[in-house]
């Protein structure tokens, strides 16, 4: 089965009644956890972005706390999983400010972990790639925000 284009979906959805749209959304939310998470963000959390960011930060912190530090393999695997989840939450928001804040927080938590695993070049490389992604995202923001986030980024880079 070939998926319809966004334009086709938009046309079809615009012809549906409100009740049919509600039923479609509920049915969609039953199939994948990500669909349900996105719908939750859109309905409940998108109106208060700062609270959403704080919730995601606490989740990132908990995930880093729960990393199994017995083996480098588990540290790398867990860190990549945390980054995947962080990127997923960034996609839900779609805002560059949220992306910068969450990536800076991820990198801060990763830096706390790095002294334990200085031999892990892949984690250092992952950190460097995320710092580059932060720089790229910062460059798209308003000048005032750029300055504030640039200060945070410099502080993050100095800690290492």
User: Residues 78-115: pLDDT tens digits?
Assistant: 999 999 999 999 999 999 999 999 999 999 999 888 76
Average pLDDT (64-78) is: 89
Rounded alpha-carbon distances, angstroms, from residue 103 to 25, 56, 86, 90, 133? 30, 11, 8, 9, 8
Looking at residue 116, what is its pLDDT? 57
DSSP, res 5: P
Rounded CA-CA distance 109/103 in Å is 10
Phi-psi label, residue 13: left if phi above 0, alpha if psi -120 to 50, beta otherwise: alpha
Using CA atoms in the order 18, 24, 25, 28, what is the torsion angle rounded to 10 degrees?
Answer: 180
Looking at residue 119, what is its pLDDT? 65
Closest CA relative to residue 98, chosen from 136, 142, 50:
50
Long-range contacts of 155-158 (CB under 8 A, 24+ apart): 156/104, 156/107, 156/108, 156/111, 156/131, 157/131
Helix (H, G, I), strand (E, B) or coil at 33: helix
Closest CA relative to residue 111, chosen from 150, 151, 157:
157
Q: Among 59-63, 100-104, 154-158, which stretch is predicted with the lowest mean pLDDT?
A: 154-158
Q: Among 6-10, 12-16, 98-102, 110-114, which stretch is predicted with the lowest mean pLDDT?
A: 110-114
Average pLDDT (115-129) is: 78
Looking at residue 160, what is its pLDDT? 58
Looking at residue 117, what is its pLDDT? 53
């Amino acid at each position: 089965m070939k998926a319809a284009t966004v334009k086709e979906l938009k046309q079809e959805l615009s012809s549906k009644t409100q009740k049919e749209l509600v039923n479609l959304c509920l049915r969609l939310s039953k199939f994948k956890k990500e669909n349900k998470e996105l719908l939750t963000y859109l309905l409940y959390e998108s109106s208060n972005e700062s609270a959403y960011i704080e919730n995601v930060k606490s989740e990132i912190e908990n995930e880093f706390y729960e990393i199994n530090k017995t083996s480098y393999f588990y540290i790398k695997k867990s860190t990549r999983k945390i980054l995947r989840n962080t990127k997923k939450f960034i996609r839900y928001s779609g805002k560059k400010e949220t992306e910068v804040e969450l990536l800076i927080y991820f990198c801060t938590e990763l830096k706390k972990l790095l002294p334990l695993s200085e031999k892990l070049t892949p984690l250092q490389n992952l950190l460097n790639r995320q710092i580059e992604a932060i720089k790229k995202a910062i460059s798209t923001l308003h000048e005032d925000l750029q300055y504030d986030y640039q200060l945070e980024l410099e502080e993050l880079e100095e800690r290492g």
